[in-house]
Each structure stands twice: as structure tokens, then as C-alpha cells.
């Protein structure tokens, strides 16, 4: 295995070379290296006099500050990134000559940036939106960028519509409202008039659009790409990232509260997990379609609004990616990273998907303005680890000192850099025969906009359907133009009549009298989040234990140790910070004060008992809200000893909870055990099972 000493760390070694001067290595200086002994007062003519122009330190300091900002990305402005590595499971030589997919002993360094799309850099993480999932592979043959999303389909089919779509979804131009949200007139106006958006809109209204964590979300290349083998043979390929921890989502009420409680919720989660050594991991899978099967589907492979159902073409796992290092400087790395769909390596090529073709223009173009010139590939995060020898020269921010000639062919420079030889190492475009008349017209094979939206709907679990209906009601309920609400409902009627009726009822639109023209398709179970439960572990799940004076500390310790041993993160929360006094008279350390956190920041809550202990929490409004919210959001709730009484006081109607000592009762993810003292193995097992399941829907409501 080529490990940290090998190519896997080639990027790290390269980064080390570009690290700025260690601030501890000497005194403060100007940009010119002149040492500075005073940076708090400007040079002035007299103690109360005007500042002098000759104060070059003052002028440099202010000027540099004034120029700190660069334009944010026009879309995907808010993001978080991390470094890591990719390793293939076995050689993929049968399909592609891409060097990084040949040898399981070779680790390729990567940088991944996750993002939301609509909101600006300072917007909240848990908004309803698509998430970007962009990966830069620093391969020995040059950089390969897989610039994907967490949905497998896009809103439009042709890149020429991208500015229209983005203008519609972005905040409205007159008042720049709403931030980080799609619930406004112009987006739904566009959607209702452009049926090709419907399939991606179904994803946007689903739980996929509010992921629990970047570490718990799938990624997709979206387009059909092309693998090219050494003999020139092409194979169509769709890329899939599957998270080891499974795919999990928030619920809408929770996501909205999170926006205030912790706008950095997803970003912090990624950072903290990596710092804790809990390295997020995804499996890379491919769906492969031989060239001769190009027309074997009832949709066009080039249409980016379509999935290839996994039941039709299974996803073949080919490798894994692990993110194991946080960036050292957000601006230098996460903000300046420049992805480009046209960054491909030999063995990976494009198809004629019109969305992909447009992207191949747009990304380079956008970097030129965003990063201020053509030399952005020299920035440390963008630098390939493969050698770079070009005849490109000059331009803003040129960081290299080139010598010799810069044209080809040349004799004065010894003909260097020479062209790659005939050894087949150079990139060569896939030889595809193309002919046709110049036309501006969408292919007939791109015209079915309803079947796969219906496929998605019919593949959802009941709880996912409820979320989708609620999301449509929320979004359309915010639309002021009633005609737009109605037109959207009428479009949904082509996807599914029942869906359209339910949405219409929520937003005061007319219920369509009969089903629309949409074609019903059999379900694809792989589209449901229920198909991605994860590895069955509870690693990194955040569990809140609510404690107060009189708590049964031995009980807390026993359950805490049992859960922590399985990789969960357990925190003791109390009405105030510091310590609480356990029932045994010992002090028990509190991790956080309840008023500083909220249930939405945790995956589960546990109420331990104590002779005079936890029931006191029943008088604490923060604690009660905490438990109520966790319950309402379907999170595992555990209660031990007298803690069961706190839960019972909320009167969960019809829910089975323990009412006698000596046994554990588990119902809808609520696990109770009245037994005092250390938690039993049975309780820990049942609570762990509830955690593995992540969320528990259809709970009976609480009476109070
Ligand atoms: Fe992008 N997209 N996009 N996009 N996109 C950008 O590039 C664009 C599309 C995606 O973390 C921009 O550097 C066009 C699909 C991600 O830095 C820009 C079209 C998919 C990121 C751009 C699309 C994506 C971007 C903005 C339609 C999923 C963030 C800043 C033809 C497969 C990358 C930038 C990062 C960013 C253009 C459609 C994913 C303007 C024209 C489909 C993950 O170049």
C-alpha cells in the first residue's frame, strides 16, 4: 500500500512547500519584509494631528484589508472542504485507462468541496437546496475533477437555460429576498412553465435536500460520461458516491431551527468529525453501459434529467474515498479551489449531453473572473501533483519564472517541451463520429418530463412522501402569485394525481379533477433513503444526556461508556455549566449548558434517573422543549429510572413505555427502563438499535 509516505501524500508535501512563513519564526514585517515594531497607532503630525501619507505601514495595512474579498461563486457560494485520498478496489483497465483507477495499492490525493447552491457565502447550511459534491483528484496524469451534486438529476437539459434557471431561483432582484431558499415566486414561476425541471424538483422537495450531514449524503456525477479503455473502446458511465454512514436527512422544522441555532451545522459537523479522527468515507460506484446499448433505454442517456434505475443497471463499486485532513486556511484552499468539468485525464471523456457541454465552457470562464486571471492553477490547492510544462505565459499573478522559448515548434529551445510520444500516455479525445445539420432544437428523445418524476414519487417510502407533500405546501404556500401555485399543481398532476390533490389542498389551489397525462413507472427502491441505512454503526451520532443535581451518575456513566465505546459522541447537558451533584454526592462534569444548545443539534436524547434528580428537569423549560423537539423530530429518546417519569409527564398517547422495574421497553425509537442504577445491557442494545435506525416516523403525538 502506498501510504502517507507515498503518492497519497504528494499533495501534502506540495502544500508544505507553499506554506506562508511561520509567524513564530520572527517579528512582524511589512509585505516587503521590513520589520515592524508598532502596529497600533498611525504616524501622525503631533499626538492629536492628522495621519501622514508617508506611513507606508498604515497604507499597506489598510490597502491590503480593502482588497481582501474576491467575488463569491455565482452559484455554490457557501461550502466546506477537506483533503483526503481515493483508492480503487481493483484495476478498472477493462473499461478505462485512467491511471488512478488501475492499481489498488496507489492512493490518489483528493480535495472535496461540499456546498449549497442558492445562498451566498454567509448563508445557513441547513436550507432546502441541492448540495454540491465536487472532488478534485490529484492524479499522476493530471487533475481530474468530478464536479457532482447530491441529486442524480438536474433541473434543465441544456446549459443555455442555466442563467434563466439560476436567475429564477436566486433571491428576487428588487429586494434580494429570500436568502438560501427556493420558496418564492420566480423559482416556481419558472418551474411551472418548464416541465423539464419537475424530476429534479421532486428531489428538491424530498428529504434529500436537507441532509443531516455532508458525511451522510450521496453524490452523483449526474451526466453520462465516457470511460475509454487502452484500446480506444468507450463505455458510458454514471458516477455514484455512497456514504459509509448511510444517507440521512433532517426534518424541515428541525432544518429551519438549525439555521438559527447553528448556521454552520453541516460545516462544523464535517470539521469536527475529521478533527476527531472519524474520517468520512464514500464508496465510488459506476453504472456501466456498453456503447452498443446507447439506445436500449426508454429515455436518452444524454439527458441529465434522467437516472438509470439501479435495478436496471447495478452500481458497481470500484473504490473508496476517505477525507482525513481539514484545510489549514479556508480562503486559500476552500474558497480558491477551482473545479472544472473539463479537467479530465486520459481514460475519462465527455458525452454530448448538452448540459455537460455547456459546463465545459462555464467553469474555466468563471474562474477567470472569480480568481482574477488565468494563473489560478498555480494556487496551491489547484496545483496538480503531475508535472506541468506549458507554453502558457504571463498574465495576472504569474507565480512561475519561466525560462526558454514559449512556442511550438521551436528549435531554439531544443524543441522543448516535446510533444508526448506515441506511447499512448497523452490524452486523446474519444473518436466519435459526429455529423448533422446545424439546428437549434431539443431532441424528441428529451421530451418526456414526467415519467421519471413519477418514478421518483412511486419509489418513496410513506414518510418520504409525507415530507414531499409538506415541502410543496410550504414552498407554494410562500408564492404570492396564485396563478403560479395553480400552474404548478396542474404540472404535478402529470406526475401523480394524489400528489397534486394533496398539494392543492394545502395551498388553496383547485384540485385537478382527474389524473394528468404522466406515465406511471414501476418503483426503483434504490431511490428511497431507506435503501441507504449505512454500516449499522452509531459512530459519530451526537447524543445528549440531560442531567441535573441528584442525577444517578453511575447510570449516566454506564450508558455513556457503552455508547462512546461504539463511537457515539455523548454530551452531558445541564441547566447551567460546570458540575452537577450526583445522587452519590460526587460532582459530575457538565459538557454544555442547556441554554447554549438545542435538541436540533443532536441525534438523540437520554433522560437518566436519580432519587431526586432528573424529575427536576420537568420544571426546566429548556429541558422540556429539548425532549419534546427530539420526540417530534423522530429522534431516539431514551429514559432510565425516574427519567421515565419526565417522559411520561408529556403523555405520549398510545406509546408503550416502561412502568415497572426490570425490563426494557422499546417502541417507535423510545426506549425506557425504570430500573435504577447502571443501565442494563438490554437497554443499551435497544437504544443502540434505535440510534442505528436514525429516525422513527409515525410516532403518536405528545399530549403536552
Ligand atoms: Fe455548476 N457551476 N453549472 N453544476 N457547479 C459552478 O463554477 C454551471 C451543474 C456544481 O465547490 C460555477 O466555480 C453551468 C450541474 C458544483 O467550487 C459555474 C451549469 C452540476 C459547483 C457553474 C451547471 C453542477 C458548481 C460557479 C449548466 C452537478 C461548485 C462557481 C450547464 C453535476 C464547485 C464555479 C465548487 C459551480 C456553472 C450545472 C455542480 C458558474 C453553466 C449539472 C458542485 O461555473
Q: Is 97 in the pocket of ligand 1 (CB under 6 A)?
A: no
Q: Is 161 in the pocket of ligand 1 (CB under 6 A)?
A: no
The burial class, CB within 10 Å (0-12 / 13-18 / 19+), for 654 is exposed
Q: Is 113 in the pocket of ligand 1 (CB under 6 A)?
A: yes
Question: Do residues 620 and 594 touch, judged by C-beta distance below 8 A?
Answer: yes
**Fold classified for 79-163+196-378:** Catalase HpII,  Chain A, domain 1 (2.40.180)
Give me the residues paired with residue 573 across strands.
546, 592
pLDDT in tens, 564-598: 999 999 999 999 999 999 988 999 999 999 999 99
Predicted local confidence at residue 3, as pLDDT = 44
| Closest CA to ligand 1's atom 14 | 359
* Grid cell listed for 36: 515592524
Does the domain at 542-692 match CATH 3.40.50.880? Answer given as yes
Best of 363, 370, 371, 372 for a ligand 1 pocket test (most atoms within 8 Å of beta carbon):
363
Distance 75 CA to ligand 1 centre (A): 7
User: How many whole angstroms separate alpha carbon 623 and alpha carbon 647?
Assistant: 11
Nearest to 535 by CA among 246, 260, 257, 263: 246
Confidence band of 676 (pLDDT split at 50, 70, 90): confident
Nearest to 218 by CA among 127, 323, 148: 148
Predicted local confidence at residue 1, as pLDDT = 41
User: How many whole angstroms separate alpha carbon 323 and alpha carbon 576?
Assistant: 36
User: How many whole angstroms separate alpha carbon 142 and alpha carbon 384?
Assistant: 6
User: How many whole angstroms separate alpha carbon 200 and alpha carbon 207?
Assistant: 13
Predicted local confidence at residue 294, as pLDDT = 97
Residue for cell digits 489547484?
A: 382
Q: Is 76 in the pocket of ligand 1 (CB under 6 A)?
A: yes
Question: Do residues 616 and 596 touch, judged by C-beta distance below 8 A?
Answer: no
- Would you list the domain boundaries of the chain? 79-163+196-378, 454-531, 542-692
Burial 501-531 (b: 16+ CB within 10 A, else e): bbbbebbebeebeeeeebeebebbeebbbee
Residue for cell digits 458525511?
A: 215
Q: How many CB atoms lie within 10 A of CB 327?
A: 21
Q: Is 355 in the pocket of ligand 1 (CB under 6 A)?
A: yes
pLDDT of residue 9 exceeding 90, the answer is: no
Burial 596-632 (b: 16+ CB within 10 A, else e): ebbbbbbbbbbbbbbeebbbbbeebebbbebbbbbbe
Specify the pTM.
0.97
Q: Is 339 in the pocket of ligand 1 (CB under 6 A)?
A: yes
Question: For residue 612, what are the CA distances in angstroms to 547, 576, 618, 675?
Answer: 11, 17, 12, 15
Does the domain at 454-531 match CATH 1.20.1370.20? Answer given as yes
Q: Can you tell me the mean pLDDT for 265-290?
A: 98
| Closest CA to ligand 1's atom 9 | 359
Q: Is 646 left (phi over 0), alpha (psi -120 to 50) or beta?
A: alpha
pLDDT in tens, 132-176: 999 999 999 999 999 999 999 999 999 999 999 999 999 999 999
Q: Can you tell me the mean pLDDT for 437-461?
A: 96
Q: Is 360 in the pocket of ligand 1 (CB under 6 A)?
A: no
Confidence band of 2 (pLDDT split at 50, 70, 90): very low
Q: 533: helix, coil or strand?
A: coil
Distance 391 CA to ligand 1 centre (A): 28
pLDDT in tens, 339-385: 999 999 999 999 999 999 999 999 999 999 999 999 999 999 999 99
* Grid cell listed for 51: 495621519
Cα Rg of the chain (Å, integer):
28
- Choose, from 76, 340, 633, 696, the residue flagged as catalytic: 76
pLDDT in tens, 10-21: 999 999 999 999
User: How many whole angstroms separate alpha carbon 484 and alpha carbon 512?
Assistant: 15
Give yes or no: 76 in active site: yes
pLDDT of residue 4 exceeding 50, the answer is: no
Predicted local confidence at residue 659, as pLDDT = 80
> What residues contact 507, with CB distance under 8 A and at least 6 apart?
472, 473, 476, 477, 479, 485, 489
pLDDT of residue 467 exceeding 50, the answer is: yes
User: How many whole angstroms separate alpha carbon 393 and alpha carbon 395?
Assistant: 7
Q: How many CB atoms lie within 10 A of CB 322?
A: 18
User: How many whole angstroms separate alpha carbon 47 and alpha carbon 53?
Assistant: 16
Question: For residue 423, what are the CA distances in angstroms to 103, 115, 387, 556, 650?
Answer: 19, 40, 18, 66, 74
User: How many whole angstroms separate alpha carbon 4 and alpha carbon 265?
Assistant: 30
CA–centroid distance for 584 within its chain:
45
Best of 115, 197, 362, 371 for a ligand 1 pocket test (most atoms within 8 Å of beta carbon):
362
Question: What is the dihedral sign for C-alpha 406, 410, 416, 420?
Answer: positive
Q: Is 134 in the pocket of ligand 1 (CB under 6 A)?
A: yes
> What residues contact 517, with CB distance under 8 A and at least 6 apart?
450, 494
Give yes or no: 343 in active site: no
Q: How many CB atoms lie within 10 A of CB 8?
A: 22
Confidence band of 423 (pLDDT split at 50, 70, 90): confident
Question: Do residues 569 and 604 touch, judged by C-beta distance below 8 A?
Answer: no
ipTM of the complex: 0.98
The burial class, CB within 10 Å (0-12 / 13-18 / 19+), for 635 is buried
Alpha helices (runs of H) in 130-197, residue ranges in sequence order: 162-169, 185-193
H/E element holding 113? Answer: strand 108-116
Nearest to 349 by CA among 415, 431, 284, 253: 431
Best of 73, 303, 377 for a ligand 1 pocket test (most atoms within 8 Å of beta carbon):
73
Amino acid at each position: 500500500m502506498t501510504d502517507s509516505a507515498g503518492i497519497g501524500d504528494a499533495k501534502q508535501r506540495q502544500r508544505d512547500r507553499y506554506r506562508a512563513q511561520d509567524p513564530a519564526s520572527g517579528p512582524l514585517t511589512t509585505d516587503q519584509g521590513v520589520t515592524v515594531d508598532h502596529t497600533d497607532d498611525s504616524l501622525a503630525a503631533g499626538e492629536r494631528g492628522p495621519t501622514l501619507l508617508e506611513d507606508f505601514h498604515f497604507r499597506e495595512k489598510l490597502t491590503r484589508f480593502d482588497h481582501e474579498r474576491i467575488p463569491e461563486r455565482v452559484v455554490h457560494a457557501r461550502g466546506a472542504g477537506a483533503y483526503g485520498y481515493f483508492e480503487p478496489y481493483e484495476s478498472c483497465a477493462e473499461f478505462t485507462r485512467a491511471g488512478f483507477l488501475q492499481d489498488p495499492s496507489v492512493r490518489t490525493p483528493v480535495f472535496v468541496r461540499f456546498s449549497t447552491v442558492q445562498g451566498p457565502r454567509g448563508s445557513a447550511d441547513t436550507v432546502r437546496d441541492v448540495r454540491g459534491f465536487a472532488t478534485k483528484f490529484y492524479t499522476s496524469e493530471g487533475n481530474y475533477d468530478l464536479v457532482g451534486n447530491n441529486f442524480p438529476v438536474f433541473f434543465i437539459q441544456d446549459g443555455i437555460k442555466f442563467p434563466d434557471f439560476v436567475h429564477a431561483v436566486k433571491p428576487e432582484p428588487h429586494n434580494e429576498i429570500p436568502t438560501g431558499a427556493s420558496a418564492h415566486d420566480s423559482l416556481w414561476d419558472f418551474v411551472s412553465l418548464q416541465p423539464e425541471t419537475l424530476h429534479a424538483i421532486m428531489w428538491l422537495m424530498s428529504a434529500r435536500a436537507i441532509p443531516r450531514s455532508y458525511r451522510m449524503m450521496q453524490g452523483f456525477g449526474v451526466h453520462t460520461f465516457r470511460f475509454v479503455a487502452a484500446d480506444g473502446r468507450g463505455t458510458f458511465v454514471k458516477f455514484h458516491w455512497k456514504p459509509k454512514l448511510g444517507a440521512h436527512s433532517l426534518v424541515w422544522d428541525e432544518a429551519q431551527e438549525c439555521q438559527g441555532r447553528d448556521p454552520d451545522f453541516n460545516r462544523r459537523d464535517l470539521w469536527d468529525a475529521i478533527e476527531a479522527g472519524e474520517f468520512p468515507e464514500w464508496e465510488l460506484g459506476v453504472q456501466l453501459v456498453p456503447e452498443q446499448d446507447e439506445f436500449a433505454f426508454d429515455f436518452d442517456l444524454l439527458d441529465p434529467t434522467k437516472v438509470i434505475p439501479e435495478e436496471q443497471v447495478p452500481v458497481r463499486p470500484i473504490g473508496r474515498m476517505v477525507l482525513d485532513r481539514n484545510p489549514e486556511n479556508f480562503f486559500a484552499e476552500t474558497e480558491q479551489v477551482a473545479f472544472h468539468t473539463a479537467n479530465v485525464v486520459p481514460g475519462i471523456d465527455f458525452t454530448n449531453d448538452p448540459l455537460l457541454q455547456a459546463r465545459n465552457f462555464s467553469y474555466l470562464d468563471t474562474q477567470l473572473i472569480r480568481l482574477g486571471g488565468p494563473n489560478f492553477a498555480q494556487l496551491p490547492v489547484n496545483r496538480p501533483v503531475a508535472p506541468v510544462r506549458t507554453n502558457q505565459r504571463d498574465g495576472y499573478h504569474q507565480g512561475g519564472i519561466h525560462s526558454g522559448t514559449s512556442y511550438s515548434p521551436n528549435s531554439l529551445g531544443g524543441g522543448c517541451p516535446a510533444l508526448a510520444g506515441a506511447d499512448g500516455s497523452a490524452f486523446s479525445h474519444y473518436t466519435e463520429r459526429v455529423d448533422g445539420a446545424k439546428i437549434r432544437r431539443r431532441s424528441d428523445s428529451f421530451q418526456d418530463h414526467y415519467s421519471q418524476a413519477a418514478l421518483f414519487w412511486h419509489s418513496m417510502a410513506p414518510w418520504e412522501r409525507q415530507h414531499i407533500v409538506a415541502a410543496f405546501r410550504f414552498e407554494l404556500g410562500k408564492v404570492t402569485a396564485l396563478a403560479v401555485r395553480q400552474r404548478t399543481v396542474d404540472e404535478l398532476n402529470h406526475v401523480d394525481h394524489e400528489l397534486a390533490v394533496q398539494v392543492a389542498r394545502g395551498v388553496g389551489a383547485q384540485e385537478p379533477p382527474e389524473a394528468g397525462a404522466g406515465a406511471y413507472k414501476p418503483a426503483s427502491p434504490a431511490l428511497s433513503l431507506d435503501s441507504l441505512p449505512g454500516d449499522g454503526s452509531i459512530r459519530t451520532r451526537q447524543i445528549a444526556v440531560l442531567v441535573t443535581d441528584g442525577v444517578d451518575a453511575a447510570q449516566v456513566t454506564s450508558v455513556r461508556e457503552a455508547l462512546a465505546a461504539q463511537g457515539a459522541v455523548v454530551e452531558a447537558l445541564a441547566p447551567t455549566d460546570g458540575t452537577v451533584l450526583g445522587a452519590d454526592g460526587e460532582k459530575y462534569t457538565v459538557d454544555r449548558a442547556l441554554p447554549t444548545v438545542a435538541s436540533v443539534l443532536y441525534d438523540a436524547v437520554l433522560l437518566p434517573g436519580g432519587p431526586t434528580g432528573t424529575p427536576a428537569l420537568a420544571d426546566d423549560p429548556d429541558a422540556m422543549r429539548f425532549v419534546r423537539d427530539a420526540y417530534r423530530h423522530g429522534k431516539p429518546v431514551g429514559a432510565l429510572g425516574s427519567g421515565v417519569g419526565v417522559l411520561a409527564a408529556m403523555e405520549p398517547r398510545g406509546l408503550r413505555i416502561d412502568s415497572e422495574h426490570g425490563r426494557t421497553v422499546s417502541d417507535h425509537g423510545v426506549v425506557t427502563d425504570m430500573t435504577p442504577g447502571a443501565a442494563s445491557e438490554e437497554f443499551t442494545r435497544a437504544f443502540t438499535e434505535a440510534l442505528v435506525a436514525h429516525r422513527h416516523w409515525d410516532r403518536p403525538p405528545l399530549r403536552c
